[in-house]
Amino acid sequence: MSDSDPPVTPDHPQWTDWRWQMQNRIHSAEALEKWTDPTPDEREAIEKTSEVFRWNITPYYAALMDATDPSCPIRRQVVPTMDELGDDLVDELDPLDETGHSPAKNLVHNYEDRVAFCVTAECAIYCRYCLRKRMVGDADFFMRSDEHQAAIDYIAEHDEIRDVLLTGGDPLTFNEDNLEWLLGRLRAIDHVELIRFGSRMPVKLPYRITDDLCDLLQRYHPIWVNTHFNHPTELTEDAAAAIDRLKQAGVPVGNQTVLLDGINDDPETMKALNESLVRMRVRPYYLYQAQVIGGTGHLRTPIETGMHIMRQLRGRTSGFAIPTYVLDTPHGKVPLNRSYVKGRAGPHVLMETYDGTLWAEPNPLPDDLGVPLQLPRVDLPDGVDTIPIRREAGPGQAAAQSSEAASVPASLRARAGESSG
């Protein structure tokens, strides 16, 4: 780390000011040097991914990173590596076809009675496995007031919609005035029963959970918050205090963890995470299988790994400390258990969605991985719905990156030159 300009520490007088944290985010190799010793791979990736997927780290979250260990589970979530530009199974950036389910800008209507409203493309931190890396930080996906209103008008015109998820980006990057504008208009719609926030602020910037924010949320109940802790290291005293402020305001808090290779993909880490969440009065809600998004192959795990973890949790911890392991698909979320998972068909896992559609998820087994749980071998039916993969990887054939020089996938190249924020 640089000795000439030491990092700002938690002793800084503005450390707990969330706006100050946003204004002082780390987004260059030089700034990162004040917190870690970047590896040559990280340095190269910071330069070469700059036109593909923006990166930012709050000082608060940077302080959780191990300065000397590039395999640190906090660091791997947020610092770019060259793996992101390696050959992947897909070029896909919208695996859930959210664009195809959007009747208004940034409004996703996939389930009949609920919508996901991506109210902003801004985040405090840009997680390297992000589901919406096609849009976060991209100026084209920021919304004007009239675009927000058009989405609200759609919700008002569809009385089957009872549940609105405010997501993004991160909706809590909005200030209280903008949030009250949104909440007031949604609460004026008689058939909207529930408003949820999907926010990682309690994890990456807990100082955003201010008394003023909690007072605002309390005025528009019922409000729920789902946040996104992935590793026990993220469960700090500041995070616990933020959760407590939400709970004191009557806001139930759930957690959605993403299963990530080398970060939390073992039963011991997952058990420690979920039990610690319960002690903070946060309900483990979902364990997500990481989506097949171009540039994230190094962070995805075999589905068998997640199913094994779930079996190891059952009977070994409190039932309400066990989340539901799911995969999101264009046909809705699928619980990854043997009631829905039919088996493995080479590089795919075959499953049935809630409406009876068969879905084949690209999820090869690397050569060198001996999974502790085996799925039955099945054939893929003709016409099964799936995401086309760039090359076949048969059973036991490595799906890791090719040994050739890494190249940027086509859909990521298409973003280069567009605004990255």
Q: How far is CA 372 from CA 2, 40, 312, 334, 335, in A?
A: 44, 34, 11, 22, 19
Distances (CA, A) of 240 to 58, 159, 363, 393: 18, 37, 35, 44
Residues 6 or more apart whose Cβ sits within 8 Å of residue 305: 259, 265, 371, 373
- Per-residue HEC secondary structure of 215-227 comes to HHHHCCCCEEEEE
Mean pLDDT, residues 263-272: 98
Is the entire prediction scored with pTM above 0.85?
A: yes
Q: Does residue 402 carry a pLDDT above 80?
A: no
44 and 31 Cβ atoms separated by less than 8 Å: no
Neighbours of 185 (CB within 10 A): 17
Tokens of 286: 């979902």
Q: What pLDDT, on a 0 to 100 scale, did the predictor assign at position 420?
A: 31
Answer yes or no: are the C-beta atoms of 201 and 174 closer than 8 Å.
no
Average pLDDT of the residues in 321-341: 97
Task: For residue range 205-214, list pLDDT tens digits in order.
Answer: 999 999 999 9
Residue 2 has pLDDT above 50, yes or no: no
Amino acid identity of 257? T
| Residue 28 near residue 54, CB atoms below 8 Å | no
Give the pLDDT score at 70: 96
- Are 231 and 66 within 8 A, CB to CB? no
E strand map for 228-321: 253-259, 283-289
For residue 138, name the pLDDT band (cuts at 50, 70, 90): confident
Domain ranges, ordered by start, for the chain: 18-85, 99-401
Nearest to 183 by CA among 227, 209, 143, 221: 221
Residues 53-58, mean pLDDT to the nearest whole number: 92
pLDDT at 346: 94
What are the φ and ψ backbone dihedral angles of 351, each rounded to 5 degrees? -145, 165
Of residues 91 and 226, more confidence is placed in 226
The phi, psi pair for 227, rounded to 5°, reads: -110, -165
Residue 183: is its pLDDT beyond 90?
Answer: yes
pLDDT at 392 over 70: no
Q: What is the CATH number of domain 99-401?
A: 3.20.20.70
CA distance 257 to 40: 30
